[in-house]
Structure 1
Amino acid sequence: MEIDALVFDILGTLVDEPAGIRAGIRAAAPRADTDELVKLWQDHIETEQRRIVDGERPYATSDVLDREAAQLIAGRRNPEKLATIGQRLPPWPDTVEGLARLAKHFPLIGLSNASRSALLRINAHAGLRWHQALSAEDAQTYKPDPAVYELAVKVAKTSPERLLMVAAHAWDLRGAQSVGLRTAYVARPVGDPPKPGDRFDFHADGLADLADQLGERHA
């Protein structure tokens, strides 16, 4: 297997999205049931992104969906303050070092459902460094629509099978497979684990484990 570049999902794979949203809600509403509100937030985002992919709703950026989610959970609180909590997400403990290690051997491409402006702030807050960061906004749809993964193929100017998609979400990896990308599942506490029928090229406990496996394959 020859790999020209690694393509990374960001939300959930490199940053702990639920923890960041929970912290933002707790700061705005200390007495609220944060777990319930985090679930309400994430369910809204997932539902609306799915509707957009299925053609049931015109494309709207992640900023718009975040504002809707904020309004949904705001009650008497300030929805404007809540609307940007999805841009202040902590990295997983192995993320920054793992990316730096992998970057010594491969070009790294971030591929996120976050809007261009949100992606800029997510990267800055979490200290994520890329050779290229791509937003689904450029495809006017969301993963797992094949058009989003094709953004990475076009930027890399290589064949899909020479790109390795890295994600903690099996649904994301299935979407990447639909356009021919290789796949690497990285286990995270908040991810979507593989089902028995899934066949991914790599299964890793974290970025260090993935780097070890890739190093062995290319030794």
Structure 2
Amino acid sequence: MAQIGDVEVVVFDVLGTLVDESSGLRAGIREAVPGADNAFVKELLTVWQHHRDLAQRHITEGHRAYVNPDVIDAEAAQHVADRAGLTDPAAISRLAAAGRQSPPWGDSVAGLARLTRRFPVLGLSNAGRAALLRLATHAGLLWHQALSAEDVLAYKPAPEVYRLAVDTAGCPPERVLMVAAHAWDLRGAQAMGMRTAYVQRPGGDPPTGSDAFDWQFDGLDGLAAALTGE
């Protein structure tokens, strides 16, 4: 088991780990389809998430040429619009950007503030560069640098995305801690030799019995306390 004191740089997944992306998308869907009840909003959210996840997986597996996240978001918004009978181009365009208005989890802002006083902190996301800029502004996220998988024309869990974080950190991967609410994300980081910490979030992807991550926390307060000793 790695020692917490071995960590030099902390890397955070963003969507689902630092921000509640599902809430941001649901709000965008409700704005675009104001008559939708909760069940239909949930159905439309599932349409969006299924398309996004499938498109990224096809690209990662080499079944589709790379396209940036804005293209995938626009496709997802169009799928939602088709299901909902939405035809207004301006409304569909706003819906495509809904994820950029995702709220932070209740402990994200304070947890990042504690950690950035002691460690270099990076965001590492499948979201595009422009989306990360607006997400950080909307949610009040504080980090030292945001890295987008767009920079390496790939999507997590492709190894080149984690290599981008390690190269940016400028230290051995075993001294770089990847924090995420998604076990699949941590498995990708672990395969690159990074340290891993699972943070529990609603709707996340919890570890299975075969996962052996270095640490698990209920939220960012516990993570920050363990890393800073405060």
- 1:183 is displaced (CA, Å) by 0.1
- Are 1:6 and 2:3 counterparts? no
State the distance in 2 between where 1:129 and 1:57 align: 34
| 1:41 equivalent in alignment to 2:60 | no
| C-alpha displacement of 1:171 | 0.2
Is 1:177 equivalent to 2:190 in the alignment? Answer: yes
Give the TM-score taking structure 2 as reference length: 0.92
Structure 2, unmatched stretches of 5+, are none
Partner SS for 2:209: coil
Contact 2:198 2:213 (8 Å CA) reproduced? yes
| 3-state SS of paired residue (1:22) | helix
Three-state SS of the structure 2 residue aligned to 1:161 is helix
Which AA in structure 2 matches 1:31?
G
Q: Secondary structure at the match of 2:208?
A: coil
Q: Is the 8 A contact 2:10 2:120 kept in 1?
A: yes
Q: Distance in 2 between matches of 1:54 and 1:41?
A: 20
CA contact (8 A) 2:11 2:121 kept: yes
Q: What code does the residue aligned with 1:12 have?
A: G
Secondary structure of the structure 2 residue equivalent to 1:41: helix
Task: Give the whole-Å Cα distance in 2 for the aligned partners of 1:100 and 1:80.
Answer: 33
Which residue of 52, 55, 58 corresponds with 2:59? 52
8 Å CA contact 2:33–2:86 kept in 1: the answer is: no
Instruction: Find the aligned partners of 1:110 and 1:215 in 2 and give their Cα distance.
Output: 19
* Structure 1 equivalent of residue 86 of structure 2: 76
Instruction: Please list the CA deviations of residues 69-108 of structure 1 after superposition, one character each: whole Å capped at 9, or x if unmatched.
Output: 0111113243112111011100000000010011121110
Take 2:228 and 2:218, find their aligned partners in 1: how far apart are those partners? 15
Root-mean-square deviation (Å) = 1.1
1:18 aligns with 2:28: no
1:154 counterpart = 2:167: yes
Provide the secondary structure at the position in 1 that maps to 2:112.
helix
Shift of 1:214: 2.0
Q: Which runs of 4+ in 1 moved over 3 A?
A: none
Aligned to 1:90: 103
Q: Which amino acid aligns with 1:121?
A: R
Of 121, 140, 144, the match for 1:127: 140
Q: 1:140 aligns with which of 149, 153, 157?
A: 153
Q: How big is the shift at 1:215?
A: 3.3
TM-score, with length taken from structure 1: 0.96
Identity percentage over the alignment?
A: 58
Q: How far apart, in 2, do the equivalents of 1:167 and 1:14 lie?
A: 9
Structure-to-structure mapping, 1:107-126, within 5 angstroms = 107-126=120-139
Instruction: Determine the C-alpha separation between the residues in 2 that align with 1:50 and 1:169.
Output: 15
Q: Number of residue pairs matched?
A: 217
2-side partners of 1:25 and 1:40: how far apart? 11
Give how far 1:124 is off.
1.0
